[in-house]
Amino acid sequence: MQKYRVVKERFTEHGAVAITSIVKGKNNKLYIGFTSMDHTVVEYDTTTGEYRDIGLMFNAPENKMPLHDKVHNSLAMDENGILYIGQGLNINWDAGPYRYDLRRFGGGHLYAYDTNTGKIEDYGVMVPLNAIHGITYNPETRRIYGYTIPDNHFFRFDIDTRKVTDYGKISNYACHNLISDSRGNCYGAWLKIGAYDESEKGRKFIPKGTFLLKYDAEKDELVRTRNMIVYGLEYDIFGNVGVDTWIRTKRGEIFGGTAIGGGIFKVNPDDSIQFVGKPVLGPRLTSMTEGNDGLIYGCAGFPHMSLFSFNPETNEIKDLGVISTESDHWYLHCITMGDDGIIYGGETDGGNACLFKIIPE
């Protein structure tokens, strides 16, 4: 894709203010997660442009809360057409608005929606008094890995046994979502604030910054590695620091994008970090998807994003131009490429729940 045109479709039902998750299904279907007052997931047919509510309501009307519901980086599709949905809440990473009592919320549930039959199953709360803020599905182990806000806990859900394991607080917030590899490991990021680290070998100086977080599937252990991704404590953009997005390619490679730096990095098989490059001058690299041509396409820049392509074999990066200059600021929080070769992206933080269609020309 060298040239493209953009078509936007706005969703206003149920008070939707942002698209915060998107995943591709079978038969030219997309599944879109919103930040809205209720009815947060729809099925979208890319051939007809029609969409329908899947029927999931997080809260009954009589218990309606004053905050938006949210599906934030929390849609994951398995090989059988089961869509996993993490229940979020439109709160900040530090639990704001502070007058809201999380006991009223209880905790984010994990749901399974069978796209073949329409059946919805509720697996219950993953971490009490926390909203689910990101999930990833690992097909090799049939597990859902996820994290929560405001306490930033890492959790694991074993689908076949229905067992939930809470591994506790990761660190202060440092990662927008998670990714898993072919060995069942899961990767994220953790934020080191202090300059020193205590260990069995004594007190050691380690620079402040964002480091690679790894759930080691073989050891069943959450490891805060010393492999640095971003140096120093950054000024945030709308609370976003550290790692903005992840992708696992069909060849099994793991790449990530950073928030303030807006750069691409690779996680090598030994868990070392390799900096690849920076698509545009601005910050934020919010989303990536693998194209039908083997290239990775992504969105980077702030306050208005550009589309870029990245060749994972040669590390060549191309800036394909600014997608839109409407409004003071906006970005595509999530993207996926449809079977039709069109990139579909969800807008957030501009106050509009718009589906962007980036159509090759």
Query: Which residue is listed with tokens 């980036």?
Result: 358
Give strand pairing partners of 69.
36, 89
Distance from C-alpha of 35 to C-alpha of 213, rounded to nearest angstrom:
27
pTM of the entire structure?
0.94
N residues, the chain:
361
Q: Which amino acid is at 24?
A: K
**CA dist list (Å): 86 to 40, 123, 140, 347:** 11, 10, 20, 19
3-state secondary structure of 63: helix
CA-wise closest residue to 237 among 176, 302, 191: 302
Distance from C-alpha of 224 to C-alpha of 233, rounded to nearest angstrom:
17
The CATH superfamily assigned to 4-360 is YVTN repeat-like/Quinoprotein amine dehydrogenase (2.130.10.10)
Distance from C-alpha of 29 to C-alpha of 34, rounded to nearest angstrom:
16
Distance from C-alpha of 94 to C-alpha of 103, rounded to nearest angstrom:
16
Q: Which amino acid is at 334?
A: C
The secondary structure element, H or E, covering residue 335 is strand 331-337
Query: Which residue is listed with tokens 């959450």?
Result: 222
The side-by-side arrangement of strands in the sheet containing 343-348 is 4-11, 353-360, 343-348, 331-337
For 79, the token pair is 């090989």
Q: Residue 234's pLDDT is what?
A: 60
Written as tens digits, the pLDDT of the chain (361 aa) is 789 999 999 998 888 999 999 999 999 999 999 999 888 999 999 999 999 999 998 865 554 566 789 999 999 999 999 999 999 998 887 778 877 888 888 999 999 999 999 999 999 999 999 999 999 999 999 999 999 999 999 999 999 999 999 999 999 999 999 999 999 999 999 998 876 666 556 666 777 889 999 999 999 999 999 999 988 766 666 677 889 999 999 999 999 999 988 999 999 999 999 999 999 988 899 999 999 999 999 999 988 899 999 999 999 999 999 998 777 777 899 999 999 999 999 998 778 899 999 999 9
Distance from C-alpha of 103 to C-alpha of 88, rounded to nearest angstrom:
14
Biggest alpha carbon–alpha carbon distance for the chain: 63
Based on its alpha-carbon atoms, the radius of gyration of the chain, rounded to whole angstroms, reads 19
Q: What's the distance, CA 65 to chain centroid?
A: 24
Yes or no: say if 100 and 109 are a contact pair by the CB < 8 Å rule: no
CA-wise closest residue to 132 among 78, 170, 193, 89: 89
Residues 258, 263, 266: CA angle, nearest 5 degrees: 85
Distance from C-alpha of 177 to C-alpha of 84, rounded to nearest angstrom:
15
Which residue pairs, CB below 8 angstroms and at least 24 apart, start in 321-328?
A: 323/6, 323/299, 323/356, 323/358, 324/6, 324/8, 324/356, 327/351, 327/352, 328/303
Q: Residue 19's pLDDT is what?
A: 96
Peptide bond into 207 cis (omega under 30): no
